[in-house]
Amino acid sequence: MRRRRKLDHLNLAQLMEDGPLSTGFGDIHFLPNCLPELDFAAVSTASSFLGREVAAPFLINAISGGVAEAEALNRALAAAARRLEIPMAVGSMTAALEEDALKRTFTVVREENPDGFIAANLSANAGPEQALAAIEMIGADALQLHLNAAQEVMMAEGEGELSFGGCWQKIREVVEASPVPVMVKEIGCGIAREEARLLAAAGVAVLDTGGGGGTNFLRIESARRKKGGTEPFFNWGLPAAVSLLEVVDAVAGLEAAGQTAPLVVASGGLRSGLDAAKALAVGASLAGVAGPLVRSYYRGGLKAVLEYLQLWQQQLRQAMFMLGAGEPADLKACPLVVLGETGRWVELRGVNLQSLARRKSALAGTKPKMSKKT
Ligand SMILES: Cc1cc2nc3c(=O)[nH]c(=O)nc-3n(C[C@H](O)[C@H](O)[C@H](O)COP(=O)(O)O)c2cc1C
């Protein structure tokens, strides 16, 4: 049953368009900088994440494994991650914990990318024992725990064994037992400020927002179900930009209170290097992507995956150049304006947008004073 589901996910992710929810990244605008004071050659996307150098602040997010067909896909994704020097996560590893023969569909990633940053992946309902086994299986540098209550309640397999009771406590136990940082992610419905705070209190090292507007698992499960009734939920979720702004606001609140705050990964419907630039400017450390990589792979293999991510890197550099940002961290000083539905949404939720709009321009401290001519 699980293998069939994984195959269905790969097939349907190729066929289905993003949305119908809009990510809201179109509502986020940079203030163009006509005086970038920078040479294009000096713009570098190199960055760091959890103490590791990355050549670009991108994450190949969790996709697959646990079904024979995923082995070649995972090999290609790992090869792309190695070539581009970016982190990647594998798909949910539960199947391989239950059946030895499936381990290979995951270990192939470590084989292909021996020194790269690779995150293991399990349900947030997994316990410490499963977590340790998954981390060991691929020598993982981090562990992703996915939250997907909305997807699971729509699954064709039914609601019988569906249980998210005690989930926060399980996350806490896994955080305590894990030898590597724990990242908690949504898979397309987003994380709100309140849950971001709870997850931070559990000691989670990274929050991956996984907001709406990209791959839509409620629609994918609906297609698998082959009977109606799920359509009213197709717009369920926090738009990706809203979720990112909420989570960054929660993190900023913790930092202001002198508490340890998680890093943020932005994901869900990010579809260009410009979206990534906006996400980094809002406060993310990495921009994650999944669905388009599945489509690229089935269209043109490793070459197409590389081309897709290289285009993102080029677009990110172009945006950084236009904004006078020599490195990704400089984007956090670039003023942003949030308009439209996204602006209205976060305004009603009390997210502090003024701090984004009034950020210091990179040149603010160095501008020559105008001499007063008499
Ligand atoms: C075919 C497919 C399978 C996925 N499987 C997993 C999974 O096993 N575990 C997980 O945490 N996320 C999984 N995801 C979710 C992605 O990691 C990501 O959170 C989501 O697709 C939103 O990003 P996107 O809009 O860029 O696709 C999967 C995504 C796709 C497209």
Complete domains list, the chain, with CATH: 2-357 (3.20.20.70)
Q: Which DSSP category does 239 fall into?
A: B
Give, for ligand 1, the residue of 7, 8, 17, 61 to mutate: max count of ligand atoms closer than 8 Å to Cβ.
61
Residues contacting residue 126 through CB under 8 Å, at least 6 positions apart: 94, 134, 145, 170, 174
What H or E segment, with its residue span, contains residue 214?
none
Q: Which two tokens stand for residue 107?
A: 């270990």
* Smallest CA separation from ligand 1 atom 22, residue: 268
Using CB distances shorter than 6 Å, the residues near ligand 1 are 9-10, 13, 61-64, 91-92, 121, 144, 146, 185, 187-188, 210, 214-215, 267-269, 289-291, 294
What H or E segment, with its residue span, contains residue 12?
helix 2-15
pLDDT recorded at residue 36: 94
State in Å: Cα 362 to ligand 1 middle: 36
Q: Which two tokens stand for residue 126?
A: 């997994």
Point out the ligand 1 atom lying closest to the alpha carbon of residue 269: 25
d(CA 16, CA 13): 6
Question: Which position has the token pair 């982190």?
Answer: 87
Point out the ligand 1 atom lying closest to the alpha carbon of residue 270: 26
pLDDT recorded at residue 374: 41
Q: Are 202 and 145 in contact (CB under 8 A)?
A: no
pTM over 0.85: yes
Q: Tell me, rounded to whole angstroms, the distance of Cα 73 from its chain centroid.
A: 19
Q: Which DSSP category does 264 fall into?
A: E
Residue ranges in the chain modelled with pLDDT below 50: 362, 364-368, 373-374
User: Which one, of 192, 202, 219, 123, lies nearest residue 345 by Cα?
Assistant: 192
State in Å: Cα 322 to ligand 1 middle: 31
